[in-house]
Chains A and B, each alone.
Chain A
Amino acid sequence: MRPGSSILSFSAGTLLLSGIPCDRLNEWLPRAGCVFDPRAGVCRCDALHLRQVVAELERRRIRFENQVAVPREVFWKAESLCELRPEQTAAVEAWLQADRRGCIVMPTGTGKTEVALRIMQLTRCSTLVVSPIRDLMYQWHRRILRSLNYDAGIIGDSIHRVQPVSVTTYDSACIHMPNQRDQFGLIIFDECHHLPGGIRRDAARMSAAGARLGLTATPERPDGRHEDLTELIGPIVYELSIAAVRGKTLADYDVVRIPMHLSASEQRRYDMLAEEVQTYVYQARQVNPGFTWEQLCMSSAVSGEARRALRAFHGKKSIEDRATEKLRTLEDLFRLHGNERCIVFAGSNAMARDVSLRFLIPCLLSQCGKREWLEILEGFASGKYPAIVANQVLDEGIDVPAAKVAIVIGGLSSSRQARQRLGRVLRRSGNERAILYEVVCAGTSDESRSRQRRRHESFQGVRRKRGRSTC
């Protein structure tokens, strides 16, 4: 091999290596999965492996020209990071020790963002922060501005402003990562359990960043793909359990379940729709014994009857979701906690708007602009707004000012969601215990969802008051 004849370069989210035979590379770097690309006449592998490739070539004293852009250094003008708590410092240390690659698992409300900001401050190189939704992306932008005094670039939400430190969403990162001319030295995946899903993992695979940090409260995924995080980001380097911080960082909390009944007319309509759905499924099973409801939803209804059954099903769900009794129960709870900050979680946008319109309290919806979003959250923090309502958009990671009362009125049942939701009210302030109310319709599928939700470990060992009916 002629010295200096090898070239390593970055191309569309992959690395190109010319001048070294591919089987040789595979022998040296079995985990990088190099493939010869006849279209370009060179070897190609995922940009993810840059650090490993460079280290191996250098170890073997192979001379090569590295054309991959070197991540820029970042100088923070004036940092105003708050003092870290011992467990946060431990998390930072653990990540540094692990060769700057790994995931940190901490319950919501224990300051993951501050850990990440400290890591950014120490790493001092170009950084990309990837978050699940645009609202969170803007929140990162604000936190970076406040703590590190840096106006980060934004990639996503129809904005493409790349800076050495930028924030983006998973979907935008997946699309734009191959086009990245500037390389990032550190990539941070917020709520990183979202990463392994389908094509989104390209956000990690197509980045050449050597330092990688994943943040999550709930690393496990039902599909088992969380194991891939080890390859895409790194192993779990620090884990803080919810039990370890309850009552310290987080408030202690009670769960109160309030069963309620549909009104007579709602119940009549509910039963009618339920029967329509059952009849359809029954008839479909006469023809095809293996028929399932999911099949109908997936293949999308073809016949008029199927479409009607599907509509009946949605009507049924909407009655559960938007039962008028829920609004009355809510009124009672607001009376009970008249002077405490309450946050209401609705199962759908429509219900969130119903609540907002009935009580004239602000409603956090995805269509809210970032200014309105900020105004609502700040108003809630300052006490201007005593109560706010939100849909599932608030489930993850959004910094909500401490609330002592959370009321869940419908929503999907999944342990992760429930845990994240709990996180919202768990913020410590004083010695007060927090209360989580669950308002569910008795005798509907709402009830079984609540049961599932409670089965999860976050609820285990929690002091539970006896459920009581409202007047």
Chain B
Amino acid sequence: MLTRDESIAAVDYHRGLVIPDRLNQRTHAAYKSLAEQILEVYRRGVGKRRRELHQEVHRVFAQEPECPLRRIEAFCKLLDDQSVYASQERRSAAALRREVFSHAAGLHPLVERMDSLFENSAEEVRRQISQRLQRDWQDISDSLFADVIDFHRLESFPGYAGPRELLSRYNVAQIQAALFSAISITVRAGADFKRILRAGRLARLMHTITAPQPGCWQIELTGPASVLRETRRYGVNFARFLHALICCCDWTMEAMMESRGLRNLRLHLSSRDGLRSHLPPDDKFDSAVEAEFAAKWGEEDREGWSLRREAEILHAGQKTFIPDFVLEHVTGRRVLLEIVGFWTPEYLEQRVRTLQLFRGVPIVLAIQEANAARIAQAVAGADVIAFRKVLQVKSVLEVLRGLPGVSA
């Protein structure tokens, strides 16, 4: 991630928007070749010190007419993030200093012009130390501060797959850095809202959910202290959340930024902006059991029931419950289906507590045999299907037929 010092964002006061720096092929065609050149600096830079590498990167951009200094520094940061710097020399630097300074301490002050009172010439002392350590003085003075960040040596550069990947990482990193100043984020989500919600929770944010229209959820994400004051203390959480968000599809996001002057500025983003995450997307299904069941049920109605994935959200305070499936009957009647698969006892317990919160909602629980009795007892009133390994379509239909008021 970038820091504030490398962050670049333009402000459109007219529309009240913060626009993070973004490099794209149309307007910044030259950057593909620049990115390739700076990657090459690092690829060939093994053995060089960080400061030299940064100077070389700066040189690559020297002829580029329109390029903020911060952008160059941001590239250096992103390249460093994917670099391995040698640690051996670093570790021995302190011991070397101690040896050199201890030797020189008794001879203080080291002078360049000798006189009768002070006769320890700097040159002579350096020679002595050099002899004692059996090392060239140039080599000693070179390693003396090897632990200073600027002087770390590049050991290897796993780097980025290519210039495209570096540029795409840059674009995402600038948005993340801009979000450090965000005070809240509102996401409008369609199909992927469950994953988005989960990402928000993983980033330790609190949510408020509304449904402006069917099939669309609006999730406002803030931190605990956000109700007390406008605070950017959750900016890092938003930046972390962004990574997960751009792996999802079908969403728009609006971040409210820390107010500057009179206006509250916003930052807009959507799944159509073509951002790519370097993180692998997480699984669509929580478990194989769900995926298999959905595949077996298929697209069509069965006895008037159609199956929709994660189409309903129940919430009570900060507890939300998104059943795996909603079964919708042609008559408009809806029944929820939750599959409780192979899980740890802690997970089951938490699941039971959540289910108890939403007692009274028509729900069918499909539970793995070993746990069925325990859960059925804890969540009295729910219809329970016990299954061994695979949840059968016919056993679900059987339960649906048995529901009061449903004629087969």
Q: Chain A interface (Cβ within 8 Å of chain B)?
A: 11-14, 33, 35-41, 44-46, 174, 178, 199, 202, 206, 299-304, 307, 310, 328, 331, 334-335, 338, 349, 353, 356-363, 365, 367-369, 371-372, 375, 379, 384-387
Contact = CB atoms under 8 A, between A and B. Distances in A.
A301 B65 contact: no
B133 to A, nearest CB: 13
Contacts of A300: 8, 68-70
Interface string B74-118: 000000000000000000001001101111110011111100011
Contacts of A37: 227
Contact of B227 (A44, A303, A368): A44
Interface of B: 8, 62-70, 94, 97-98, 100-105, 108-113, 117-118, 122, 125-126, 129, 141, 144-145, 147-149, 206-208, 222-225, 227-228, 231-233, 317-318
A365 B101 contact: no
Contact of B101 (A38, A39, A362): A362
Contacts of A14: 224-225, 228
A372 B227 contact: no
The A contact surface, by secondary structure, is mixed
A312 to B, nearest CB: 13
A299 B148 CA distance: 28
A14 B126 CA distance: 59
A385 B111 CA distance: 16
Nearest to B206: A39
Given A35-B227, A360-B101, A362-B101, A303 B66 contact: yes
10 contacts: A13-B225, A39-B207, A328-B112, A334-B109, A335-B117, A349-B148, A359-B104, A363-B97, A367-B147, A387-B108
Contact of B118 (A41, A202, A338): A338
Contacts of B105: 361, 379, 384-386
B101 A372 contact: no
A367 B146 CA distance: 10
A304 B65 contact: yes
Given A360-B125, A367-B147, A302 B227 contact: no
Given A33-B228, A302-B67, A202 B100 contact: no
Nearest to B65: A304
A311 to B, nearest CB: 9
A14 to B, nearest CB: 6
Contact of B68 (A40, A302, A328, A379): A302
Given A331-B112, A387-B108, 4 more contacts: A40-B318, A46-B228, A302-B66, A302-B67
B224 A367 contact: no
A310 B122 contact: no
Contact of B231 (A199, A372, A385): A199
A199 B232 contact: yes
B228 A44 contact: yes
B97 A372 contact: yes
A357 to B, nearest CB: 6
Contact of A368 (B8, B63, B94, B233): B94
Quick one: which of A44, A45, A367 has the most chain B CB within 10 A? A367
A202 B225 CA distance: 10
Contact of A357 (B144, B206, B224): B144
Nearest to A174: B233
B108 A359 contact: yes
Given A206-B225, A353-B145, A361-B101, A386 B108 contact: yes
A372 B101 CA distance: 12
A302 B69 CA distance: 7
Contacts of B222: 39
B378 to A, nearest CB: 24
B123 to A, nearest CB: 11
